Structure 1
Amino acid sequence: MPSSCDPGDAPAGDVGGALMMIDSRLKSVYDGKTETDAEQKALVDQFAASLGPKGARDMIDGVCTLIFMFMQWLRMAYEDHDKDPLENVVASLVATMRRMPKSMRPEVIPTMAGLVVAAGTGLSPSLWRKQYGFWTPEELTALEVTAFLLAEHINRLTEDRDFATRMITEALFSAEEAYGEEV
């Protein structure tokens, strides 16, 4: 029986924009900038305001697509080593989120864990979340943090700070070549 959360039915969203946002956050953390400076926050706020409602939805869907792609890679990587990807990823993710009380309100952590489990079991995170109504502002911050933590997890596993970003960039480029249009 087909699922209402089938990834083939989900909008991909603005994967390029979402990837740029996550890559920027990774680079600033790797460069030792753990606090978001006022200038960067102003730029992010200005960018978000320029998106408009459709652009914001596309960005959210793009981040969900990244979460799906990151979890598919992690699932294959862990299963290649006879390990359970959900056990290894979700526990680490939740533990890290619990140590981030300024960025992550405790009540959004189960939703983010649910997104990761949905993606890890082959469901679309955006369609899975959609069944619970509109996104809350707290969930949007947590959504970005979730994608960031998954990318960082991949980079740590591969011992390559750019692996997660490069993997998605290469997938986008391959899809563009295969379908002859920008994805």
Structure 2
Amino acid sequence: MSSPCDPRFAPVGDVSAALMVIDSRLKAVYDGKSGTDAEQQRMISQFAASFGADGLDELLDGTCTLIYMFMNWLRGSLENHDEDIIEYTVPTLVATMRMMPRTFRPEVIPTMAGLLTAAGTGLSPNLWRAQYGPWTAAEMNPLEAVTVLLAEHINRLSGRDDHTFATQLIVDALAKVGQD
């Protein structure tokens, strides 16, 4: 039986733009910058403003696609080790979110955990979220941050000292789609 949250019904969005934003945030994390660099924030805000309303929706959908792709990769990797993605990933990321109260207000943590769980069970995160109404402004920073946390989680789990492993997964997948 098909679910209304099946990924094949979901808009893909602008994955490349979303990946650029996430990659920029990851580089800031790995460069040891605490907080948000004002220049970087200005550039990202300017970049987002250049999209217009439709472009922001595309960026939002692209971010949800990244979450889905990251969770799909994790699911495959963890299943090879007889681990459950929900048990292994979601509690760790929720615990991290709880340690970041300025980014993740308590009321958005269940939504972010739900997005991760939806993606971890093979559902589209953006279609799952759409069931509960439109995105709110209060969810935008947490959505970006949970995507960064997820990418960083993958980088650590890869067992390599490669801070670009998660983003490279997406670049490789996009290149493969471009070839097909």
Residues 58-105 of structure 1 show CA distances to partners (whole Å, capped at 9, x for unaligned) of: 000000000000000111111111111111110001000001011111
Distance 2:57 2:128 in 1: 15
Residues 2-22 of structure 1 show CA distances to partners (whole Å, capped at 9, x for unaligned) of: 100010110100000001111
Q: Which runs of 5+ in 2 are unaligned?
A: none
Deviation at 1:34, TM superposition (A): 2.1
Secondary structure at the residue paired with 2:108? helix
Asked if 2 retains the 8 angstrom alpha-carbon contact of 1:13 and 1:57, the reply is yes
Residue 176 (structure 1) aligned to one of 153, 175, 178: 178
Aligned to 1:181: none
Distance 1:101 1:108 in 2: 10
The answer to whether the aligner puts 1:13 opposite 2:13 as a matched pair is: yes
Aligned to 1:23: 23
Aligned to 1:165: 167
Q: TM-score, normalised by structure 2?
A: 0.96
Distance 1:51 1:14 in 2: 11
Asked if 2 retains the 8 angstrom alpha-carbon contact of 1:104 and 1:138, the reply is no
Moved over 2 A (4+): none
Distance 1:16 1:37 in 2: 22
Asked if 2 retains the 8 angstrom alpha-carbon contact of 1:112 and 1:146, the reply is yes
Secondary structure at the residue paired with 1:122? coil
Distance 1:44 1:17 in 2: 11
Distance 2:169 2:39 in 1: 29
Deviation at 1:123, TM superposition (A): 0.4
How many percent of aligned residue pairs carry the same amino acid?
61
For the aligned residues, what is the CA RMSD? 0.8
Deviation at 1:173, TM superposition (A): 0.4
Q: TM-score, normalised by structure 1?
A: 0.95
